[in-house]
Structure 1
Amino acid sequence: MPVTRILKVLTSVAVIGFVAGVASAQDARGLWLTQADKKDQVAQVESVPCGAALCGTIVKVFDGSGTQISHPNVGKRVFWDMQPIGNGKYEGMAFVPAHNKNYRATMQVMGSEMLVKGCLGPVCQSQLWQRVQ
């Protein structure tokens, strides 16, 4: 195989690898750690495909010292029907356990962080989650 053809193939493989890496960096699937709540507790949320969308469930809760604790919110679905809309953005629904309410919500993946925002009418709240895995 001529050297120029080999270089073209290697360049194509490198570009495909880079694009795949960028796509996965904007993917909301995986484990995420929420911001601390008023009790200084954080939750680990697992985001998985459910149909063409993503759903997220609390799988672990930790106290302020980082110790895993038993908590009634473990197993609760905190977001669902999160549809990708491009550039690491998702739209769907979220449940906020502290309010015991469902909200229209968005998620924006930015590398190892994800901005999760829920709104009820013009009033919105957001959290910045950290990727665990």
Structure 2
Amino acid sequence: MKAQILAILGAAMLAAPALASGPITGRWVTSEKDAVVAIAKCGQALCGRLERFLILPKGGKDQRDVNNADPAKRSRKLIGTAILYGLTEDDGAWRGQVYDPKSGRTYTSQVRRMGDGTLEVKGCFGPLCQTQVWKKAS
């Protein structure tokens, strides 16, 4: 009997981090409050596409991906571009890639739903990381 109770408690404790993180899908306002990113299923993984600008960039709503390292992608519109992609769940976090259209660089990413309902988005290049906190869009 004690063994069963311990097994149930152990399983509950292991499941708690996954439940606490919550789903990351939905619409999110970036930390700079300049855009909304929609995170949804893309094939076998999740991705986050730039849905709309809250503050228009210099190029307006039709801003192109002019800083992209790939010259073939510099003429594409930023709206609709996946800036988070290849996100797969790993131990309560979602890991994949994050694209920064301002620098044209891609970083490894970790995305996690926090207990207060915000989204922690971390981009790393080697050991150097930067973290942003996104809020749920209304």
Compute the TM-score of the two structures, normalised by the length of structure 1. Answer: 0.69
1:61 and 1:71 in contact (8 A); partners too: no
1:43 and 1:61 in contact (8 A); partners too: yes
- Cα distance in 2, alignment partners of residues 116 and 79 from structure 1: 9
Describe the shift of the 1:70–1:132 C-alpha distance in structure 2 as closer, same or farther (beyond 3 A).
same
- Cα distance in 2, alignment partners of residues 117 and 98 from structure 1: 16
Q: Which runs of 5+ in 2 are unaligned?
A: 1-14, 64-77
**Residue aligning to 1:96:** 100
Question: Which residue identity is paired with 1:100?
Answer: G
Displacement of 1:132 in angstroms is: 1.7
Question: Which residue identity is paired with 1:60?
Answer: R
Question: Which residue identity is paired with 1:27?
Answer: P
- Cα distance in 2, alignment partners of residues 123 and 130 from structure 1: 24
2:21 and 2:112 in contact (8 A); partners too: no
**Residue aligning to 1:118:** 123
Displacement of 1:74 in angstroms is: 1.6
Aligned positions, number: 104
RMSD after superposition? 2.4
**Residue aligning to 1:58:** 50
Displacement of 1:53 in angstroms is: 1.2
Displacement of 1:110 in angstroms is: 1.1
Moved over 3 A (4+): 22-25
Compute the TM-score of the two structures, normalised by the length of structure 2. Answer: 0.67
SS of the residue aligned with 1:70? helix
SS of the residue aligned with 2:31? coil
Q: Which runs of 5+ in 1 are unaligned?
A: 1-18
- Cα distance in 2, alignment partners of residues 80 and 71 from structure 1: 22
Aligned-residue identity in percent: 26
* Greater strand proportion: 1
SS of the residue aligned with 1:27? coil
